[in-house]
């Protein structure tokens, strides 16, 4: 089978979008940045938009769905959402291009989806959107897991994360930066809540407490502009793993507003 490729087009509150696939076909995970940027970065990375076989949405907040209406309705790409997400997307007042049911492939959380060489399983995560999921994409017996925008790591999410060969996981904020930062108190409480976001420390301690020898890549995603830095996210996770004698070949904070290179995963 062809090597599995991954790159981030954007990761953060300004917009999230990721490519997972091969050199000839793949999927997008989230579509929270402009369609012009998505097209440009796919082209610059050698991927034709016609070779995108699906768009998988984690939840219906604007920074994850900004261009999904255009991708589904104008460019006719299949959009994979739950029924609850579909309703939430079309209620979002930022969505000038709504989705029609004909553009959507509905699934239920926990359901297995087959798309060419991918076996895809969804799992619930805790966040304050209409409906929220993480994904495990299995390709040639290798598991790529994405868990973003979750206030805590619940049992089902933990089971998927602990089986990953390649993991995209949220490190949204540094606890001291959030505490001393510019957010008003209610927003700080929302971020810290069980339906908010994962801190560097939360993610670091979970990964250090659940060693997985098969895990070769950790991508740290959805870093806050105001309450985090790539160095702080990296150091928190690296130091926690090192303290337990855990070695991971690749530990990579994803940039907020820039695309990454292509990472060959297998």
* 199 secondary structure, DSSP code: B
Determine contact, residues 166/143, Cβ cutoff 8 Å.
yes
SS3 151: coil
Residues 6 or more apart from 143 whose CB is under 8 A from it? Answer: 136, 137, 160, 163, 164, 165, 166
Residue 56 above 90 pLDDT?
yes
- Does the model's pTM come out above 0.85? yes
**Is the predicted pLDDT of residue 141 greater than 90, yes or no?**
yes
- On whether the CB atoms of residues 202 and 237 are closer than 8 A, the answer is no
Position 1 scores a pLDDT of: 87
Q: What is the mean pLDDT of residues 133-140?
A: 98
Do residues 79 and 104 lie in contact, with contact meaning Cβ atoms separated by under 8 Å? yes
**Sequence-separated (6 or more) residues with CB below 8 Å from residue 149:** 58, 59, 61, 64, 125, 127, 129, 132, 170, 197, 222
The mean pLDDT of the chain is: 96
Res. 188: pLDDT tops 90: yes
* C-alpha torsion sign, points 31, 35, 41, 44: positive
pLDDT, tens digit (0-9, with 9 covering 90-100), for 211-250: 999 999 999 999 999 999 999 999 999 999 999 999 999 9
What pLDDT is attached to residue 110? Answer: 84
Mean pLDDT for the stretch of residues 81-87: 97
Structure tokens at 92: 């979002």
266: confidence class by pLDDT, cuts 50, 70, 90: confident
Kindly state the average pLDDT of the residues 128-155: 97
Average pLDDT over residues 81-92: 96
């Amino acid at each position: 089978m062809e090597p599995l490729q991954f790159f981030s087009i954007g990761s953060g509150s300004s917009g999230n979008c990721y490519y997972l696939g091969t050199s000839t076909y793949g999927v997008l995970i989230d579509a929270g940045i402009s369609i012009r940027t998505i097209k440009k970065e796919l082209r610059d990375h050698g991927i034709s938009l016609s070779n995108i076989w699906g768009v998988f949405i984690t939840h219906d907040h604007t920074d994850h769905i900004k261009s999904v209406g255009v991708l589904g309705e104008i460019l006719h790409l299949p959009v994979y959402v739950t029924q609850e997400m579909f309703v939430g997307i079309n209620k979002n007042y930022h969505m000038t291009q709504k989705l029609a049911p004909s553009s959507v492939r509905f699934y239920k959380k926990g359901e297995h989806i087959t798309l060419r060489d991918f076996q895809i399983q969804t799992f619930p995560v805790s966040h304050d959107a209409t409906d929220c999921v993480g994904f495990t994409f299995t390709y040639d017996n290798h598991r790529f897991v994405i868990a973003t925008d979750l206030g805590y790591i619940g049992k089902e999410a933990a089971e998927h994360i602990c089986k990953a060969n390649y993991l995209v996981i949220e490190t949204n904020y540094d606890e001291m930066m959030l505490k001393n930062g510019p957010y008003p108190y209610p927003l700080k409480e929302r971020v810290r809540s069980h339906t908010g976001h994962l801190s560097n420390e939360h993610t670091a301690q979970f990964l250090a407490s659940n060693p997985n020898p098969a895990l070769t890549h950790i991508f740290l995603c959805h870093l806050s502009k105001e309450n985090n830095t790539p160095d702080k996210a990296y150091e928190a996770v690296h130091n926690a793993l090192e303290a337990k004698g855990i070695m991971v070949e690749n530990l990579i904070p994803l940039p907020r507003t820039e695309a990454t290179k292509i990472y060959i995963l297998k």
